[in-house]
């Protein structure tokens, strides 16, 4: 059976001290461990993150799908999770974090920064205009 996209990214992240290849080459990534809101099953999702005042912020874009990604619902149901991040010294650090959706004012400020620097996210928002607002979720160290 072929390795799926997320499994490949997770494997690359762990084998290469937090670095992955295309399409994320050179971008900061985090592996978020979360528990299924309904199933209770632990899952791991690789996500691109943005730094904001000591917090890692992830974008619940689902590549412009009309619904929020499953991981977002899981984090809202069970916000105390574990995250794996590159430690900046050639390794990976595992840390306990609390996930919280950014309030509107913080979201607007950071969303402007994200879309100014990474136009793909602006395209995702255009795809869902009038359907949903893409949430930003902060992973705050506990």
Torsions phi, psi for 58 (to 5 deg):
-115, 155
Q: How many C-alpha atoms does 80 have within 13 Å on its Cβ side?
A: 1
Assess contact for 136 and 110: CB atoms under 8 A: yes
What pLDDT digit, counting tens, does each position of 115-137 carry?
A: 998 889 999 999 999 999 999 99
Per residue in 36-51, pLDDT (tens digit) is: 999 999 999 999 999 9
Kindly compute the dihedral angle of the four CA atoms of residues 76, 87, 141, 100, in this order, to the nearest 10 degrees.
-30
**Model's pTM, two decimal places?**
0.93
**Cis-peptide, bond into residue 130, ω within 30° of zero:** no
pLDDT at 88: 78
Contact (Cβ atoms closer than 8 angstroms) between residue 60 and residue 135: yes
User: Both tokens of residue 88?
Assistant: 């900046």
Beta bridge partners of 58: 49, 137
Which candidate, 44, 52, 46, places its Cα nearest to that of 20?
A: 46
Burial of 129 (0-12, 13-18, 19+ CB in 10 A): exposed
Domains present along the chain, CATH in parentheses? 5-141 (2.30.110.10)
User: Residue 2 has what pLDDT?
Assistant: 56
């Amino acid at each position: 059976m072929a390795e799926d996209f997320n499994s490949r990214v997770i494997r690359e992240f762990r084998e290469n001290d937090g670095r992955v290849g295309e399409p994320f080459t050179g971008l900061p990534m985090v592996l978020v461990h979360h528990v299924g809101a309904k199933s209770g099953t632990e899952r791991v999702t690789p996500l691109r993150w943005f730094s904001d005042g000591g917090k890692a912020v992830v974008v619940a874009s689902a590549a412009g799908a009309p619904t929020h990604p499953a991981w977002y619902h899981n984090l809202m149901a069970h916000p105390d999770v574990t995250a794996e991040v590159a430690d900046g010294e050639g390794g990976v650090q595992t840390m306990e974090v609390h996930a919280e959706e950014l309030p509107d004012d913080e979201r607007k400020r950071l969303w402007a920064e994200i879309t100014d620097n990474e136009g793909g996210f602006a395209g995702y928002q255009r795809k869902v205009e009038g359907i949903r607002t893409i949430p930003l979720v902060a992973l705050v160290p506990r």
